[in-house]
Structure 1
Amino acid sequence: MEKKLPSSISELQTPCCLVDIDKIKENASRMRHWCEQNGIKLRPHMKTHKTIEGGDILTNGSRRKIVVSTLKEAEFYADNGFDDILYAYPLTKDKLERCCQLMNRLELFHIYVDGSYGVEMLTKTAPPEGKKWSVYLGLDNGDGREGVLWDKEEGVELAKQLYMSTNINFQGIYSHEGQSYNSSNPNEIRQTGKEAHLRLMAFVEKLQAAGVPCPEYSMGATPSCSQPDDTMKTVTEFHPGNYVFYDAMQAAKGSCNEANIACRIATRVIGHYPEKNHLLIDAGFLALSFDGKDAQSGGYGMTVQGHPELRIFKMTQEIGFIQAKEGTLDFEKYAVGSMIFIYPYHSCASAALFPEYIVHSSGNIVGTWKTVNGW
């Protein structure tokens, strides 16, 4: 039996993850409009929200052309009528069987490789009968995480092997300019995006010179896609994901404004401790995550909505510790049992800790969204 939800946020049991459907729609519309205006295909990443409802909004109801980070996500979306799914994660042999099952179920299922291991594995492994592996090659355009290096010939040779293979459809290049997360303002984000784009296009030109067609060449970090440099209009595809919710980190960098953040963790004050000059809340690291522990702004990078004077300075599994940024905490402002709202540092990490979201519009609860987790 489904539990009955209260009509107002103030009646909710905490901690819980709140998502503002109106802001989600605004964030999705803004990204979609920019892509349409500039002739860029949008392939939104599902890893932030992991829900059917969020997928419907980001694909504008088409249920086509998405990115996932796990096979569990791919299977979840396939089960619910989504197609043209890209599993954008370095592929290893243990996952091939599930990939084959998805290829047989879907019209379009794409996989990702980023080095000689994946290329050799696919060229030597037969795909399901009547199918070809549909493959994107990952490119490191400055992020330093994974992908072939943009300025080395090895990547060109691997792309050539993919293109020449009789059992592979080479789709093109997938790049993630994660270095944009090192920016601190919109101008820096745009400059980083410009540099990443120049590297991507230099690699694409090398492929073309080597006789390797490159149908798709994409970029996809939320900061650079939210504050795109004009040069980025020449890519074929965007694939950001965090923009569905945004978070305190994105607002601090200038990717968005605080008003754009669609995800909050609702929590309640559970105790006053004047002798220690702190109060406790019922949300610890299993509701908020430790992802912002190294944030230069302190407070685990999180912000307390409407209370810039507060910061979270410590967390245990189920408890958060809050103090004043300066001086003595005014406990009368934060009654025991009262609710406060926290913008997570990284919404992907915090949202993944909840099996469902409480969805609201104009302060009224309108339903819940179930999430998919696991691998």
Structure 2
Amino acid sequence: MEGDPISALCTPALVVDVDIVKRNSHRMKERCQNLGIQLRPHMKTHKTLECADIMTGGSRRCIVVSTLAEACFYADHGYDDILYAYPLPFDKVERCAVLSEKLTLFQVLLDHHDALDQLRKRLLGEGKKWQVWLKLDCGNGRAGVLHSEPEALRLAQAISEADGVKLTGIYAHCGNSYNCRGVEQIQTVAQDTTTFTLQFIEKLKGLGITCKSSIGSTPSCSYPVTDMAKLSEVHPGNYTFYDVQQSVIGSCSLEDVAVRVLTRVISHCPHRNQLLVDCGWTGLSLDGAGKLPTGYAMIEGHPDLRLLSMTQEHGRVESISGKLDYDRFPLGSLLTLIPYHSCATAMMHSVYHVHSGGRLVERWTPTRGW
């Protein structure tokens, strides 16, 4: 209940420090203001109205989503200027058309001529045009047409010339920044992505085509390079929560991580020198396997412990060295896990318990589905 300490929660429970969320959000807004570019925050980490309102300063405008379920959820709650930043799924074209006709500005993303053909087949009503971003691969190695390939320019030109379609912008994700360690490496990726995107924009101008430019990732936007001021906007998302992974990359410190998973000791296993806790992969996710000396998460205040393994509902905790002192961890005692990847962990929970100074203040309910 509101006002209760977070220790009163049944576990496993995802808890969010709203003061840290607000601080992280303010810092990102300030970075973008200093650069003179638009911040288009990504909703994929939290998928809630409350956190979205913090990220947009209550404007309910200019956001990115990764699922159509998110797009519909935010549109139904008064959000507009929504970019569905996912290669256009053909089974969702009609639903995208409905949103495009309903909202002032709903935007889709594509990286293939066949997707453009789908839009040509379903022209919008009321004199509207499809607002399309071309996904550019600038080294991320996931979705997108490679920035250096002639095909990328051909596709951009085809979008700009298609009836009922407008090339709104060029979109690139600095996902390769997740392989970085330290600010210098982060900024190298940010610079490369920025340079490749801006060079592509200049090539388009040579063809008489003008449009926006947007790059993003939490690491690159946490330590932006000067040339990012030449972009139209950036689209980070994880920065409101951060996580252990971001601290390892160098995007933040552990003090910036706003989320924790509370778990309780449910059994002692002296024959294995282990504790059993009530948080398995359904409360944390399996992301981060083999990437931390402390296992699947960091156990706050206990650097000597490791979350060794998880089944669906159980976690096994052991001492990194030496024998466990079971008197320190009686049955029912609380342990606090700092997740490796907050996006994956948040997806495991149907409600987030939000607190300020360790006292519960509200509950956030995320949208789910695709």
TM-score scaled by structure 1?
A: 0.96
Amino acid at match of 1:259: E
Amino acid at match of 1:330: D
Cα separation, 2, equivalents of 1:251 and 1:184: 9
Partner residue in 1 for 2:21: 24
Q: Percent identity?
A: 46
Q: CA deviation at 1:202?
A: 1.7
Whole-angstrom distance in 2 between the partners of 1:294 and 1:152: 36
SS in 2 for 1:272: strand
Shift >3 Å, 4+ stretches:
none
For 1:184 and 1:154, locate their aligned partners in 2 and report how far apart those are by CA, in whole Å: 33
Is 1:240 the counterpart of 2:236 in the alignment?
yes
Gaps of 5+ in 1: none
The one-letter code sitting in structure 1 at the alignment partner of 2:263 is T
Cα pair 2:35 2:226 within 8 Å, conserved: no
> Aligned match of 1:278 in 274, 283, 301?
274
2:279 counterpart letter in structure 1:
A
Q: Could you say which residue in structure 2 is the equivalent of 1:319?
A: 314
Counterpart residue number, 1:158: 155
The whole-number CA distance in structure 2 between the counterparts of 1:364 and 1:92 is 42
Q: How does 1:66-81 map to 2 (within 5 A)?
A: 66-81=63-78
Q: How does 1:185-196 map to 2 (within 5 A)?
A: 185-196=182-193
Q: CA deviation at 1:298?
A: 5.5
Structure 1 equivalent of residue 165 of structure 2: 168
Q: d(CA) in 1 for partners of 2:349 and 2:123?
A: 39
Change (3 A) 1:70 1:43: same
CA 243–343 in structure 1, closer or farther in 2 if over 3 Å, else same = same
1:52 matched to 2:85 = no
3-state SS in 1 of match to 2:271: helix
Q: Secondary structure at the match of 2:78?
A: coil
1:146 counterpart = 2:137: no
Corresponding residue for residue 299 of structure 2:
304
Offset, 1:170: 1.1
Measured against aligned partners, the alpha-carbon deviations of 1:189-225 in whole angstroms (never above 9, x if no partner) come to: 11111112111122112111222212x1111111111
AA at the equivalent of 2:315: G
1:354 matched to 2:349: yes
Matches within 5 A, 1:7-156: 7-156=4-153
* 1:253 CA drift (Å): 1.1
Counterpart contact for 2:93–2:118, Cα < 8 Å? no
CA positional deviation for 1:297: 4.0
The alpha carbon displacement at 1:244 in A equals: 1.1
Of 364, 369, 374, the residue aligned with 2:364 is: 369
Question: Could you report, residue by residue, the CA deviation over 1:285-323 in whole angstroms, capped at 9, with x for unpaired residues?
Answer: 0000011114254602x2111111111111000001111
1:100 and 1:337 map into 2 onto residues whose CA distance is 52
1:214-242 per-residue CA deviation (whole Å, 9 max, x = no partner) reads 2x111111111112222222211110110
- Indicate if the aligned counterparts of 1:103 and 1:128 stay in contact, CA closer than 8 A: no
- In terms of mean alpha carbon deviation, does 93-102 or 43-52 score higher? 93-102
Distance 1:155 1:298 in 2: 43
TM-score, reference length from structure 2:
0.97
Asked if the contact 2:354–2:364 (Cα under 8 Å) also holds between the matched residues in 1, the reply is yes
Query: Which residue in 1 is equivalent to 2:263?
Result: 267
Q: Deviations over 1:32-79 (max 9, x none)?
A: 011011111001000101000001000001000001111111111011
Distance 1:213 1:305, change over 3 A: same
Asked if structure 2 preserves the Cα contact closer than 8 Å seen for 1:123 and 1:162, the reply is no
User: What CA distance in whole angstroms lies between the structure 2 residues aligned with 1:233 and 1:328?
Assistant: 54
Higher mean alpha-carbon deviation, 266-275 vs 226-235, is at 226-235
Once residues 77 and 20 of structure 1 are traced to their aligned partners in structure 2, the CA distance between those partners, rounded to angstroms, is 23
Distance 1:253 1:310 in 2: 22
Distance 1:294 1:213 in 2: 45
Secondary structure of 2:363's counterpart equals strand
1:75-131 CA distance string (max 9 Å, x none):
110111111001001112210111111122211100010122212222343123421
Contact 2:24 2:256 in 1 (8 A): yes
Whole-Å separation in 2 of the counterparts to 1:312 and 1:128: 55
Q: Distance in 2 between matches of 1:97 and 1:57?
A: 31
Cα distance, 1:268 vs. partner? 0.7
Is the partner of 2:26 in helix, strand or coil? Answer: helix
